[in-house]
Structure formats: structure tokens, C-alpha cells
Structure 1
Amino acid sequence: MKINRVSVFCGARLGNSNQFKEDAYRLGEILAKEEVELIYGGGGLGLMGATADGALDAGGDVTGIIPTVLVDKEMAHPRVKNMKVVDTMSIRKDMLIDEADAIIVLPGGAGTMEEFFQVFVSGQIGFQQKPIALVNTDGYYDSLFELFETFIENDFLERRFLDLIMKVDSVDDVINQLKSYRPVEGRTREDIESGHRD
């Protein structure tokens, strides 16, 4: 599939590993090289700032989407010219999802997971399916996939929906992985009533 714009979900903090920052910056560079526009949460700190810096330093197109409350706290990236300021975090999240062809998730915390799960759940019900790549820096998301197995074992998730997600160990592979995405048929009433497990 053709990918022109990618939304990146990631932490507003750097985390405790230099590899997190290196991967974030490298991802920005890769998006610029591939002529893929970066859409992200507009922050100038943490992995958000590192991703934007990588894209900007490589001459890429960057769009930030940030709520007013964070602008007021001086958290907006000063070098991002195309900055969309919105009223709420919910509006920001919806725009990050709606305006992108694909989603890349770097390490992050609760906010990153909230954004990821909205896309993942939308794909399960067939409302809006977009390829999702989780960049598994230093095994960061291994425990998340263990949780998915618990969901599956207890019949709260069909295994086929894991095909909505690509766990990518190297940030250099992420664009090719996204391009290979194939949609998954959304959940039906029969799926729920039957308690069917793939």
C-alpha cells in the first residue's frame, strides 16, 4: 500500500535507555528519506521531540497536533512550523489517527497506549483499519504481547486480530512492514455469540 503520511505515537519523556531516543531520531530520518510526512503530538520534549528532530534535520515534512494546555505549558516544538493547536486531548488523538495512512508506535506510557488501543479496537470492529507498527526497542512491547495472549486464552480477543499489528524489532524495517499490511475482516455479531477462537 502507498503510505504518504504516518502518525507516530510515543512518549513525552525520553525513558531510561539511550536506544529509545536513537530509534526515535532514526525514525524521523527514515520518514524524511522516504518522503513520508510525520504527524505527531507536537511536543518538543522526550521521544516526541527526538522523532520530530530527526525528520526536521533530514528535511522532512512535519505536522504537529497539540492541545492548548500543552502550548500554554511551553511544551510545543519550536521548530515545527505546521502546528495545529486544538482544544482537547481527545480531538488531538482523533486527528492523529484520521489524518494518517498508517500508525507507528514507539515506546511510551499510558498516553501512548491510549492512542494505540483506539486504533487497534477500531480495526477489530472494522470501523477504520490502518496498519500499526509497534517498534519493539529492547523488547519494550514483549509484555504487551503476553497480555494479548491472556486476552486470547480467555476469549476476549480473536487471534486473527493480531494481524492488525506488526511488531518490528528494528526501526529500519518499519516502513517496509507497513507497506506489506493486509486488512483483516472486522468482528461480527456471530463472532461474539459463538465465542469463536482462531
Structure 2
Amino acid sequence: MKSVVVYCGSNPGNKPVYKDVAYDLGKKLAAKEILTVYGGGNLGLMGTVADGVLENGGQVTGIIPNFLAKLEVAHKTLTELHFVDTMHERKAKMVSMSDGVIALAGGYGTLDELFEILAWSQLKIFHGPVGVLNTNGFYDHLIAHVDKMTEEGFLRPENRDLMLVADTVDELLEKMETFFLQKAENKPLDHTLYVTKPNA
């Protein structure tokens, strides 16, 4: 993977662990020389990821709608910052620049972006890995609901497996890189690799 979109909250959350993990992700993306693409703000986890990349010699491209530039306060020291007119344009541009997607903790906006890209993956519009970083069990209930969707016949198992889940940055990046390489080489995917149940 040469580039990754990161979806995450414009708030930091109530526990320091979320910011710590966001910074660690940025640091490790920089170390792997993976371009980070994100929403362009300097607040919350968004800003922390960008800082983690930039302070460790990496490159970050931000995409932010004009009307949000003041609300989310556009990050001023990014490698590149693009201003767009709409949220739809923002999301499409972010994905068009990336080989994979990572979702950290966040609110409605993060879930909107995550499920849209999963739907695009299901429809074979997007072909890269989609990773969910389940810090502090944040996504346990969401994962359980996705499993319920599969159990009740609303989601095929092979499409359930498009959502790669891990509890740590290193584990998630390893799963995503394996997925990416298997796709690139047209190898059958080992779906058991990607299924992670919520913490007991």
C-alpha cells in the first residue's frame, strides 16, 4: 500500500488511549512511507493522526469542504490541503487517492464513511482493504451487529469479511497489507484471516 485514508473523530474522546493510538498510527504510517489521506482538520483524532505522521517525517494530504474549514479548523502544516465544495466530493476524492482505508474511533461522520466504503467494496467499486481499529473495544457492539446481519441473512459471509478488524495498529496494518497483496496477485483470499470477534 502506498496510501491510506484514515477516518476518525474530530473530537478526541474521553480517554487518552484514543489519542495515543491515533498518534501511533500516524507514526507507523510515516515509518512505512505510506501517504496518509484524511479529512484535513486539526482537531480531535483527525489532528492527532496528522501530527503523528508529520512529526515523524511522513506525508499527509487533507481534503476539507469549504464550509467545514472553520468548524473543524483546517490543519495548516499538511503536505497538501485540498478544499472542496461538498461532503460527497470530499469522500470521493479521499478514496480516489488511496489504496486502503482505516477507521479509528469516531461519531456519525466516521460511521457514515466506514459503511459507505464497505458498501463500495461489496459492490466492487473499491478494491482495497478496509480496516477497523478496535481500540479499547470501541467497536465491539458494532462488530456484533455486523455478525448479526450475517447470521440473519442480510450480509453474505464473504462481504462480512471485507471489514478487517484488529485491536492494535501493527496487527491491523499486517492484515491490510496481506489483503492488498493477495488482491494484487489475484490469489484467493484467506477469509479466516480477517474475522475478529469482539472481546469477551
Which band: TM-score by shorter chain? 0.7 to 0.9
Partner of 2:133: 135
**Does residue 80 of the first structure (1) align with residue 78 of the second (2)?**
yes
Residues 91-143 of structure 1, C-alpha deviation per residue, up to 9 Å, x if partnerless? 10111111100001100111001111111011112222220110000011111
Q: 2:165 aligns with which of 164, 167, 181?
A: 167
The residue that corresponds to 2:51 in the other structure is 53
Are the aligned partners of 2:25 and 2:52 in contact in 1 as well (CA < 8 Å)? yes
Q: Specify whether residues 68 and 176 from structure 1 end up closer, same or farther in structure 2 by C-alpha distance, changes over 3 A only.
A: same
What is the 5 A alignment of 1:49-198?
A: 49-73=47-71, 75-181=73-179, 182-183=182-183
**Quick one: distance in 2 between partners of 1:128 and 1:63?**
20
Instruction: State the shift of 1:72 in Å.
Output: 3.4
CA contact (8 A) 1:119 1:130 kept: no
Larger radius of gyration: 1
Task: State how far apart, in whole Å, the 2-side matches of 1:147 and 1:127 are.
Answer: 24
- Aligned residue type for 1:41: G
- The answer as to 2:32 corresponding to 1:34 is yes
Contact 2:43 2:72 in 1 (8 A): no
Runs (5+) with no aligned partner, structure 2:
189-200
Unpaired stretches in structure 1, ≥5 consecutive residues: 186-198
Contact residue 65 and residue 90 of structure 2 kept, 8 A: yes
CA RMSD of aligned residues (A): 1.6
Structure 1 equivalent of residue 196 of structure 2: none
Deviation of 1:63 (Å): 0.2
TM-score by length of 2: 0.87
1:152-190 deviation per Cα after TM superposition (whole angstroms, max 9, x unaligned): 2221111221221111111122222111114599xxxxx
Which residue pairs with 1:15 in the alignment?
A: 13
Q: TM-score, normalised by structure 1?
A: 0.88
The one-letter amino acid paired with 1:25 is: Y
Distance 1:72 1:145 in 2: 34
Identity of aligned residues (%): 38
Q: CA separation in 2, counterparts of 1:131 and 1:60?
A: 21
